[in-house]
Amino acid sequence: MKSAEEIAKMSAPELRRELQKLETGSVAIGKGPRVPQPPPSIPTISPPPVGAQIEAIQKYIHSLQYNFIGKEYFKPDKRMPLQRVMYIAKNIIKDSLPIKCLEATMLAIYLTRDIEGLTRLPLRFGTTVQGHVYWHIVLAVCYKAKWGALGLSRRHDLASKPLEFASLASLANDYKKSYESIGHRILKITAGLPVGTSTSSTEKVYYHFLIIPVSKAKWSDVEALLNKFTKSMVKLARQLRDTGKYTKLENTVCCKCLELQHPGLLYKPPSSEGTGEDSQDAKAPSAAAGEGKKAAGASPNPSAHGDVQTPTASATSPTAQPTKGSRPPRRAHLAV
């Protein structure tokens, strides 16, 4: 390339010729030869750790806030197939209105669908305090043998749990301690089957496949059963999907949830085998299996987190069944 002094001495035709050379690239710019630059490489973007993703999802769920006003915006129903659950979750994201524990569980199912290697199943707790029965549901998650939970509650320690527990039993035990700290006594724990990831699947979501009447069993037996269940839950889900049948676990009997019309396993404590009381337990979970049933005149407890029902004869009778041809009533969340 010519220097400034040489360019100053050039005539107009010479300047035009030099400009044409520059435009065509026949003249190297700079002191050295022109070296072609390689095209930029596509960066490799690795996803954040699963623990960080779980924390981000839980932070988003908390940002929606708990629905204290009693009005349902999204009408969740546990009888919905997975496709409808995903649709409800999309509407929750779109509208960003306050939600309760069941909507938070559906939202967590949608937001965790793309995390590879993550096992997800609903986990429910039925507790009692001052004569009232409360139900709460979260989404238990497992990654590389570490358990945690996603959800929403009036109380922070009953909402989510970090991904640090060694087993589902340890996770349930931590919830048990949180309940005991506010004076609640656990009546039942139910665990669902692993949830699928497809947004267009019509498969059934099992919210309470394993039903454990904690009030009739030793806690050590409850932990042992939960550990056995986690080892068999994938196999059980596959059996139900492929054949409609499933294998019983030790000290369990097959039952059917009348509300959701799906099969399940009911735990029978060994000490009560052969009694008439246990023969009725298979029907009991259906009467208390819905988030949000409230008897008329029930006074809400401000320390509670979920939906409440009073122990009336119609709500607690182990033989309560819907009349022939009638559809189970829709549940209404507790108005606080």
Residue 171 to residues 158, 161, 184, 284, 327, Cα–Cα distance (Å): 11, 8, 17, 25, 35
Contact 313, 287 (CB under 8 A): no
Of 146, 86, 137, which Cα lies nearest the Cα of 118? 146
288 CB-contact burial (10 Å; exposed 0-12 / middle 13-18 / buried 19+): buried
* Neighbour tally for 231: CB within 10 Å: 9
State the DSSP string of 24-61.
Answer: HT-S--SSS---PPPPPPPP--PPPPHHHHHHHHHHHH
Q: Which residue has the tokens 């000490």?
A: 271
Which residues are tagged catalytic?
101, 136, 153
Q: Which residue has the tokens 């676990």?
A: 249
Q: Give 37's Cβ-side CA count (13 Å radius).
A: 3
203 CB-contact burial (10 Å; exposed 0-12 / middle 13-18 / buried 19+): middle
What letter represents residue 116's amino acid?
E
Contact 34, 26 (CB under 8 A): no
* Neighbour tally for 142: CB within 10 Å: 21
